[in-house]
Structure 1
Amino acid sequence: MAKAVVLLLVVTPFLSLLPFSSLALNQDFCVADLPRGDTPAGYPCKPQTAVTADDFYYRGLGTTGPTINPFNIGLSSAFVTRFPGVNGLGISAARVDFAPGGVVPLHSHPGGTELLYVIEGAMAAGFITSLTNQVYTKTLYKGDLMVFPQGLLHFQYNLGNDTAVALSSYSSANPGLMILDFALFANNLPSDIVSKLTVLDELEVKKLKALFGGSG
């Protein structure tokens, strides 16, 4: 008995150094309670008594999503905000339909790595490294995979005359999305400042702001 007490006294201080999550009871899932809002640790859990099978089911990738202009693509996503069952599981998905000439412009996912799988068609895809601006590009065909590391700018565009379709999975329930064109030209920074920051002619900046819905 005395030995057990001594062992407990020795181990307890080290237990206090462990992350809280390692001491918490394990649970099978944490369906997002979306109305309560997001937090740095993810969405709060929906009460288990309110969870149904519908929380783990989503059919939004079964058809082409809304068109994103002027890029001629349809995008539908299964991020946590649309698919609450992926909350806390470190996974989500999206579908992109590329019309002929369609392009997913330079963009990044600050919160997750992307794995792209081509379902139909042929497309070019690539990403740019953060330190040396090295570009890695490949031509992808039906059945091909390509990975885009977290946070790096990357792109895809249709190489054929028919619609191309790709599915993406992400290493986060909410990987985020920042499209470079919208970040630069859908804002309210004055055009002369954007011109200085991008080394573009101010008239061209105003033209692009008009195209992407910016002001200033």
Structure 2
Amino acid sequence: MASYVFAFVVLVLASTQAFASDPNQLQDFCVADNAAKVFVNGVVCKDPAIVNANDFFFAGLDKPGDTNNALGSKVTPVNVNNLPGLNTLGISLVRIDFARHGLNPPHTHPRATEVLTLLQGQLHVGFVTSNPPKLFTKILNKGDVFVFPQGLIHFQLNIGHENAVAIAGLSSQNPGVVTIANAVFGSNPAINDDVLEKAFQIDKKIVDYLKSQFWTDNN
């Protein structure tokens, strides 16, 4: 009986894992119909009869992003929202530009693992595991690759003497992004002060100060 129970548990866990990322497509393609008024887990398919090559095409990733902001970085995404042909294919990518000392601040992708390749410059990168938290960090140079597991807090900081550029692939057509500081101190409506005071063990004045800041979005 114990072996049957064990086998059942393994089967359940395997089934759960199978549904933990974007589902596999059941046809050659399902181009996103962004004009559809139907809400589903994903995007409704465009009529295949009117699909054309432009549905699978995106131009402009060679152009640097505008890093003139408080973070000194800019993320340019290519996902199902601007490349409809990605719908149901389970992938997307981003270009990340960094000014000198630019930061892509601590954030998570709730639906995707990220694999980053540095094309130019030097980055200090890292991610933090779930509790108990452990930091994995590395200095990247041109041509280096680093992986950020799905859902874990991670960051990239330009520590070189020039601008930096990276390309990252993500294992979801719409990976999502939660920027930690923005979400905690810039949410609308705001999180209760008592919650933040106790969670961060800081004075209410500091909480109010942080809430009053303009939290930059580099996406």
Question: Could you tell me how far 1:59 is from its partner in structure 2?
Answer: 1.6
2:116 is matched with: 116
Query: When the two structures are superposed, what TM-score results if normalisation uses the length of structure 2?
Result: 0.80
Q: Deviations over 1:74-132 (max 9, x none)?
A: 11100111211111111100011111111111111010100000010000111111132
Contact 2:110/2:176, CA 8 A, preserved across alignment: yes
**What one-letter code is carried by the residue in structure 1 that aligns with 2:125?**
A
**59-68 or 199-208: bigger deviation:** 59-68
C-alpha distance in 2 between matches for 1:26 and 1:110:
24
- Paired letter, 2:109: H
Could you tell me how far apart the structure 2 residues matched to 1:71 and 1:98 are?
A: 9
1:196 aligns with 2:203: no
Shift of 1:38: 5.2
Indicate the structure (1 or 2) with the bigger Cα radius of gyration.
Answer: 1
Match of 2:53 in 1: 53
Q: Where does residue 86 of structure 2 map in the other structure?
A: 86
Aligned partner letter, 1:116: L
Matched position secondary structure for 1:34: coil
Gaps of 5+ in 1: 1-24
**Residues 147 and 68 of structure 1: CA distance in aligned 2, closer, same or farther (over 3 Å):** farther
Q: Name the CA distance, whole Å, in 2 between partners of 1:115 and 1:164.
A: 16
Residues 49-72 of structure 1: per-residue CA shift (max 9 Å, x gap): 221111111124221235484211
| Matching residue of 1:43 | 43
DSSP-derived class of the 2:210 partner:
helix
Aligned residue identity for 2:137 = T
TM-score, scaled relative to structure 1: 0.81
Find the counterpart in structure 2 of residue 15 from structure 1: none
Cα distance in structure 2, aligned partners of 1:139 and 1:30: 39
- Where 1:166 maps in the other structure, the secondary structure is strand
Please say if residues 73 and 96 of structure 2, whose CA atoms lie closer than 8 Å, have aligned partners that are also in contact.
Answer: yes
Give the partner amino acid of 1:201: D
Aligned to 1:65, the other structure's residue is in SS state: coil
Residues in 1 aligned to 2:144 and 2:184: alpha-carbon distance in whole angstroms: 32
Alpha carbons 1:115, 1:145 under 8 Å: kept: yes
| Higher relative contact order (CA closer than 8 Å, sequence separation 6+) | 2
Deviation at 1:168, TM superposition (A): 0.5
What is the aligned partner in structure 1 of residue 140 from structure 2? 140
Q: Could you report, residue by residue, the CA deviation over 1:144-194 in whole angstroms, capped at 9, with x for unpaired residues?
A: 000011011111100112110101000110111000011111112243432
Matched, 1:186 2:171: no
User: 1:203 Cα shift?
Assistant: 1.9
State how far apart, in whole Å, the 2-side matches of 1:38 and 1:64 are.
34
SS in 1 for 2:65: coil
User: Contact 2:123–2:159 (CA<8 Å) still a contact in 1?
Assistant: yes
Q: Could you tell me whether the CA contact under 8 Å between 1:191 and 1:202 is conserved in 2? A: yes
The AA in structure 1 aligned to 2:201 is: V
* Alignment-derived partner of residue 175 in structure 1: 175
Counterpart of 1:136, as a letter, is: F
CA separation of 1:173 and 1:26: change in aligned 2, threshold 3 A? closer
Whole-angstrom distance in 1 between the partners of 2:210 and 2:134: 27
RMSD, aligned α-carbons: 2.0
